[in-house]
C-alpha cells in the first residue's frame, strides 16, 4: 500500500513582519543619509574656509608688501592726510631701489569689495611730489569681503606714545599732523569664499596683519616725536 505524499510546508512572511522589516530598513537608510549629508556639509565648509583663507591671505600679503615698501625717503610719512577706516591713502615706490618712482595708492573698501587705485607721479621732489588726478590703474583686490566684526572699519592707524606704539588708534580721517606721526597701519578683514554650496558663517575667514613704517627702532626718549621712516 502506497502512503500519500506529504504536502510541503507553505508558511511564509506575514504582512506584519514585512512592514516591520521595511520600517527598520527605512530608519537605517535615513540615518545613513543624515551621516553622509553631515559629512559632506562639513567637508564643503572646510574646503570653503580654506579657499576663503587663501583669498584673504593673498590680498593681505600683497597690501602689506606695498606698505613695507612705503618708506620712499627717510622721515617722509607714507600715510597721507584723509586716510580713514575704509580708505587708506599712502605713497610707496616702484622701480629700482636706486631710482625709486613714487606712486600714490588709494585702497578703498565699499559694499563688499576692496579696490586699489594707483596715481602716477607727475613731478615735484620729495616730499612735495605731485600726482595725477586720474588713476593710472584700478584693480579689485578682493570681493565678498567685510571689516572684521565687531569693527566697521578695515584700517586703523597708530602713532608712538611714551616710547612705544599706542594701543589707541588715531582719530579718522587723519589730519595732516596725525598722518605725519602714523608709524603703524593695521588691516583686518573677514572674507567669504567666491563660490560655495555652504551658506553659513563657518565658511568665512578672518585675517589681520600689521605694517610698521620704520627703518630703525624708535627713540627711547619719550619726548621724541618718533616719526615714520626714520
Q: What is the pLDDT of residues 26-41, one digit of tens each?
A: 888 888 878 777 766 6
| Angle ∠(31,201,210) on CA atoms, nearest 5 | 140
Mean pLDDT for the chain?
Answer: 81
How far is the C-alpha of 116 from the C-alpha of 103, rounded, in Å?
12
pLDDT higher than threshold 70 for residue 87: yes
pLDDT higher than threshold 60 for residue 218: no
pLDDT higher than threshold 60 for residue 17: yes
What average pLDDT score do residues 200-226 get? 70
pLDDT higher than threshold 60 for residue 230: yes
Nearest of 148, 12, 173, 5 to residue 79 by alpha carbon: 173
What pLDDT does 32 receive?
80
pLDDT higher than threshold 70 for residue 2: no
What pLDDT does 47 receive?
72
Element (H or E) spanning 121, and its range?
strand 113-125
Q: How would residue 63 be classed by pLDDT, with cut points 50, 70 and 90? A: very high
Higher per-residue confidence, 82 vs 72: 82
What pLDDT does 1 receive?
54
Element (H or E) spanning 66, and its range?
helix 15-68
Amino acid at each position: 500500500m502506497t502512503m500519500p505524499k506529504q504536502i510541503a510546508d507553505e508558511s511564509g512572511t506575514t504582512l506584519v513582519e514585512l512592514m516591520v522589516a521595511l520600517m527598520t530598513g527605512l530608519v537605517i537608510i535615513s540615518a545613513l543619509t543624515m551621516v553622509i549629508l553631515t559629512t559632506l556639509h562639513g567637508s564643503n565648509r572646510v574646503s570653503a574656509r580654506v579657499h576663503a583663507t587663501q583669498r584673504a591671505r593673498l590680498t593681505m600679503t600683497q597690501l602689506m608688501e606695498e606698505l613695507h615698501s612705503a618708506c620712499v625717503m627717510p622721515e617722509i610719512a607714507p600715510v597721507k592726510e584723509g586716510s580713514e577706516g575704509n580708505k587708506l591713502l599712502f605713497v610707496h615706490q616702484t622701480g629700482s631701489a636706486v631710482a625709486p618712482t613714487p606712486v600714490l595708492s588709494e585702497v578703498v573698501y565699499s559694499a563688499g569689495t576692496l579696490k586699489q587705485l594707483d596715481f602716477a607721479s607727475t613731478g615735484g621732489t620729495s616730499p612735495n611730489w605731485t600726482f595725477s588726478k586720474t588713476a593710472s590703474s584700478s584693480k579689485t583686490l578682493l570681493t565678498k569681503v567685510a571689516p572684521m566684526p565687531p569693527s566697521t572699519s578695515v584700517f586703523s592707524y597708530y602713532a608712538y606714545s611714551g616710547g612705544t606704539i599706542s594701543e589707541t588708534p588715531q582719530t579718522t580721517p587723519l589730519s595732516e599732523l596725525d598722518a605725519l606721526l602714523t608709524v603703524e597701519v593695521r588691516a583686518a578683514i573677514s572674507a567669504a569664499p567666491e563660490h560655495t554650496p555652504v551658506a553659513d558663517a563657518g565658511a568665512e575667514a578672518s585675517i589681520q596683519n600689521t605694517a610698521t613704517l620704520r627703518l630703525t627702532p624708535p627713540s627711547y626718549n619719550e619726548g621724541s616725536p618718533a616719526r615714520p621712516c626714520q
